[in-house]
Amino acid sequence: MFPTPQAADLPTASLIIGGESGQGGGAAHPHIYPGTARVTKEVRLATPADVDTAVAAARAAAPAWRAMNGDKRRDLFFKLATLCEANAQALGQLVTAENGSISMAAPYMAYDAAQKFRYFGGWADKIQGRTVATWGGPAHDYVAYEPYGVIGAIIPWNGPLFAVTMVIAPALAAGNTVVIKSPELAPFSVMGLAALFAEAGFPAGVVNVVTGAGDVGAAMVAHPGIDKIQFVGSGATAKKVLTSAADTLKLCGLELGGKSAVIVFADADLQEAAKRGLSGAVSANGQGCVNGTRLLVERSIYEPYLQMLGAMAGHVKVGDPMDPTTTMGPVISDVALARILGVTTQAQTEGARLVSGGARLGGDHADGYFMGLTVLADVEQGSTLAREEVFGPVLAVTPFDSEDEAIAIANGTEYGLGAYIHTSNLARAHTMAAAMDAGMVQVNGSGEGMTPCVPFGGMKQSGYGRLGGEAGLHEFLRVKNVWMNLSRPVAA
């Protein structure tokens, strides 16, 4: 039996609105720790009425935040980044407590947050317009980039701290205020981060948090006081978001699921490619939207690669997320675990060969939602496992014979979030990268290229819009054009 995080070590407030902490007006939701399936504490959820209050606070704070000089906003971001680093261990413990992320990696989320706040804080004093040459008479024309106003950020449970900073860092740098829905399944790290904004000196109402379930998200999407929604989550929920947003013609940015391919050629460093291929099941306990979970391997190295995967899988330590030597933790819930096990069983009935894992773990793991790292070989392109996002520690391995076949298999899914190519041939790397229907392509990598300075987002059913880089900043700026007639000049 592994230990359960103590309620006394977790945040007490479920709302932060207008700089004040409090409890939501909704039901008490028992938060369950995935490592032991035990309740850590009850969290009082927000209601649509709490959303109204949060939006009012964000709108009240918006004019002054927008008018604040960019250098002052920049300096606040830098203070916040320093606080994130100083509190990295504490924030990491909240990440582990809320969703079972391993303590070896959890503090990285706080350091990553610091990098995002520094990067986008650096943009706060550099948002510039441009002049446009016009014709038809003497005139002066310029383009201005302005904040939308209030951004609603709906955040998923699998990586709340990573996802929320990916959204609010550019949104705030652009001069917007925000209302954040912290997920009821994993509410704590967003609460912990929100407390640091006040410590850094951000004005009250610039950042507001409502912890809630689907009704709270629905209230945010429908709210006339929210100018844009940034949703991170599943495609099924995204369709509901878009349907609701249509009533107010509200803009939405969507970062959704994936079924990212890892393409391994015979000229790759096989051991390195196997290690990185395995990370698709290990990273975030297999619950990452951009994880490489479909391994496409050139046939001449297919069996040696499988042998390496199986051997490496046996060395992955699945266990107590609070143990610093654990390398993979549990999935989020019993429902998720049952669904994942069902997918792996179905895959074997469809002809897949089990290389490792495939079962729920017993013994010390029996009380939690633990599954062995699962590798399934000979997965057919049309099978359920090849097409649908599993969101668990499961890898599907398929052989290919040519570049064209690898491209067809990689792109033969409704998703288009990430793709990973392993080769030592530079020309092939460029050819394959150009052919991928994916918003992010990495060559000889497995995720480390997702830094704040580069754009990230999907194609097809993986969503649209970009977070990160200058493109991510412009997701939260709207364009205004101003034309001045110089034949009738305005007096000074």
Average pLDDT over every residue of 248-262:
97
For residue 458, the SS3 value is coil
Residues 127-179: tens digit of each pLDDT: 999 999 999 889 999 999 999 999 999 999 999 999 999 999 999 999 999 99
Residues of the chain above pLDDT 70, percent: 100
pLDDT-based confidence at residue 489 (cuts at 50, 70, 90): confident
Residue 282 CA, distance from chain mean position: 16
Enzyme catalytic residues: 255, 289
Q: State the Cα–Cα distance between residues 383 and 363, nearest whole angstrom.
A: 33
Q: How much is the pLDDT for 492?
A: 66
Cβ neighbors of 93 (< 8 A, separation 6 or more) are: 5, 9, 103, 106
Q: How much is the pLDDT for 477?
A: 98
pLDDT-based confidence at residue 248 (cuts at 50, 70, 90): very high
Mind giving me the DSSP string for 183-250?
ETTS-HHHHHHHHHHHHHTPPTTSEEEEEE-HHHHHHHHH-TT--EEEEES-HHHHHHHHHHHGGGT-
pLDDT-based confidence at residue 449 (cuts at 50, 70, 90): confident
Domains of the chain: residue spans and CATH: 7-256+462-479 (3.40.605.10), 260-443 (3.40.309.10)
Residues 280-324: tens digit of each pLDDT: 999 999 999 999 999 999 999 999 999 999 999 999 999 999 999
Q: How much is the pLDDT for 116?
A: 98
Residues 102-112: tens digit of each pLDDT: 999 999 999 99
Average pLDDT over every residue of 80-100:
98
Write down the residue that tokens 């290690």 correspond to: 275
Cβ neighbors of 95 (< 8 A, separation 6 or more) are: 101, 106, 109, 160, 161, 188, 189
pLDDT-based confidence at residue 360 (cuts at 50, 70, 90): very high
For residue 420, the SS3 value is strand
Q: Is the pLDDT of residue 235 over 80?
A: yes
Q: What is the mean pLDDT of the chain?
A: 97
